[in-house]
């Protein structure tokens, strides 16, 4: 059966005279905080290419610089960074970069095309030139603390943030000057992420069941979330947090979505195991979650509802890390069987999903243009609606989703719009147009 969603958020973007329903940044969602539901949306993965390591490996974080088509996988067993080039349908191992004694996390500056690696013993951040033919460490900087748990980078300001779990601090390191300062945060910071638009830093405080912010290099707001945050990421105007709720008899593991002010927007159902890796395709509105049970799951970005995921047979054992190439909507998946690690490039096929939004009101005799948006892979998406549901004088463009024309009569009209991309599952959503005199 096709998916039916009722869109309730009020944000929209006026663009060239057309009201476009906001893809990211909507102020409301179809699901209220705490709600979750299953979805009929289908997601399929197809293996395009894979590269295996030549021996035992312990895959750590996996990051990608989409602008130069390179991926970087941290091997915490060999204390190395493995560099891959990504082609249209292939992976190629480029180099291996030797790191410090205990690398713990990696992040990529997609503005300056630099890779930064935290070391939880050596009290340092290593910087690698991501564009070099043979990448190598070009600089190291002291962080002022040990036990670095996580690292993030704000490319626009050339600033690195390192979560130091043992000292309950975050190192703020300016790459251009090498100056580092320590900002106190809550108990046991487990992860750190940066909003590239507002430059706000979000810190997952595992010991305090809270998420805090750093603004302008100083402590900001803190929100208690009622669960232990393990990892977080910033996507558009929302913060995704993987959480644990541990209990003697039954534990709950979820992904939660918050706005920039840390108000909860949505939460997933219990994943059954800790979410140890989260990757987001913002345009396709997909969240891929790797759990410690060795599963790869797919959620919808807006309501965090569970989607039907059909993964391919992937060699190399259980999933360990996952990331998304935004420009192509492909996945990079790291699997390991304890003897070798394998990095696999995956194509993604996703049936349509509507972007949450509402249609603006109309007036009799006034030209009207508004666009409904659905996303899918592959495209294009086609739209349909029963003509009798549209206000007299308006038509729906099946290729663009634009509703246009000049209304002839007042009234409230409910529309059931279908979006299709040729896959077995279409999406359906209800919209309303109010025409006033």
pTM of the shown model: 0.87
- The answer to whether residues 358 and 12 touch, using CB atoms and an 8 Å cutoff, is yes
pLDDT value at residue 5: 34
Q: Which residues contact 382 (CB under 8 A, 6 or more apart)?
A: 398, 399, 419, 420, 421
Q: Which residues contact 359 (CB under 8 A, 6 or more apart)?
A: 19, 21, 370, 372, 403, 431, 432, 433
DSSP string, 144-165: S-S-EEEEEEETTTTEEEEEET
The residues of the chain scoring below 50 in pLDDT are 1-38
- Tell me how far apart the alpha carbons of residues 377 and 251 are, in angstroms, rounded to a whole number: 35
Instruction: Residue 82: name the closest of 130, 22, 17 by CA.
Output: 130
- The answer to whether residues 170 and 182 touch, using CB atoms and an 8 Å cutoff, is yes
The 10 Å Cβ neighbour count of residue 220 is 15
Q: Which residues contact 58 (CB under 8 A, 6 or more apart)?
A: 75, 76, 77, 78, 336, 341
Q: Which residues contact 279 (CB under 8 A, 6 or more apart)?
A: 287, 288, 322, 323, 324, 331
pLDDT value at residue 115: 98
Residues 90-119: tens digit of each pLDDT:
999 999 999 999 999 999 999 999 999 999
Give me the domains of the chain, ranges plus CATH numbers: 42-350 (2.130.10.10), 368-435 (2.60.40.10)
pLDDT value at residue 254: 97
pLDDT value at residue 146: 86
DSSP string, 195-261: -TTT--EEEEETTTTEEEEEETTEEEEEEE-SSEEEEEEEETTEEEEEEEE--SS--EEEEEEEETT
pLDDT value at residue 327: 93
Half-sphere exposure (CA, 13 Å, Cβ side) for 57? 26
């Amino acid at each position: 059966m096709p998916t039916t969603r009722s869109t309730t958020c009020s944000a929209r973007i006026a663009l060239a005279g057309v009201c476009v329903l906001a893809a990211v940044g909507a102020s409301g969602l179809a699901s209220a905080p705490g709600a979750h539901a299953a979805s009929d949306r289908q997601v399929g993965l197809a293996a395009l290419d894979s590269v295996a390591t030549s021996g035992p490996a312990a895959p750590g974080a996996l990051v990608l610089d989409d602008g130069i088509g390179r991926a970087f996988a941290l091997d915490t067993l060999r204390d190395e960074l493995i560099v891959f080039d990504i082609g249209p349908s292939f992976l190629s191992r480029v180099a291996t970069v030797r790191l410090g004694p205990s690398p713990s996390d990696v992040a990529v500056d997609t503005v300056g095309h630099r890779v930064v690696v935290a070391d939880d013993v050596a009290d340092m951040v290593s910087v690698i030139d991501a564009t070099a033919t043979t990448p190598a460490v070009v600089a190291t900087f002291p962080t002022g603390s040990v036990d670095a748990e996580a690292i993030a980078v704000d490319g626009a300001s050339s600033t690195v943030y390192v979560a130091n779990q043992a000292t309950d601090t975050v190192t703020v390191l300016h790459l251009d000057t090498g100056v580092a300062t320590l900002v106190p945060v809550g108990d046991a910071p487990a992860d750190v992420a940066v909003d590239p638009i507002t430059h706000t830093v979000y810190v997952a405080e595992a010991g305090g069941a809270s998420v805090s912010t750093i603004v302008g290099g100083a402590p900001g707001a803190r929100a208690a979330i009622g669960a232990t945050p393990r990892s977080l990421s910033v996507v558009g105007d929302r913060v995704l947090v993987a959480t644990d709720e541990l209990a003697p008899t039954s534990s709950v593991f979820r992904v939660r979505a918050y706005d920039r002010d840390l108000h909860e927007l949505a939460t997933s159902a219990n994943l059954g195991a800790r979410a140890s890796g989260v990757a987001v395709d913002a345009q396709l509105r997909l969240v891929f979650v790797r759990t410690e049970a060795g599963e790869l799951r797919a959620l919808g970005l807006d309501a965090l509802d569970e989607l039907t995921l059909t993964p391919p047979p992937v060699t190399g054992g259980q999933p360990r890390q996952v990331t998304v190439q935004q420009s192509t909507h492909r996945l990079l998946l790291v699997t390991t069987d304890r003897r070798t690690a394998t990095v696999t490039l995956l194509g993604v096929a996703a049936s349509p999903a509507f972007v949450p939004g509402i249609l603006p009101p109309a007036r009799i005799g006034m030209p009207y243009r508004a666009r409904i948006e659905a996303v899918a892979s592959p495209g294009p998406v086609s739209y349909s609606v029963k003509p009798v549901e549209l206000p007299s004088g308006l038509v729906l463009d099946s290729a663009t989703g634009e509703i246009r024309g000049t209304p002839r009569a007042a009234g409230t009209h409910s529309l059931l719009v279908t979006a299709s991309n040729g896959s077995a599952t279409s999406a359906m959503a209800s919209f309303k147009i109010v025409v006033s005199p």
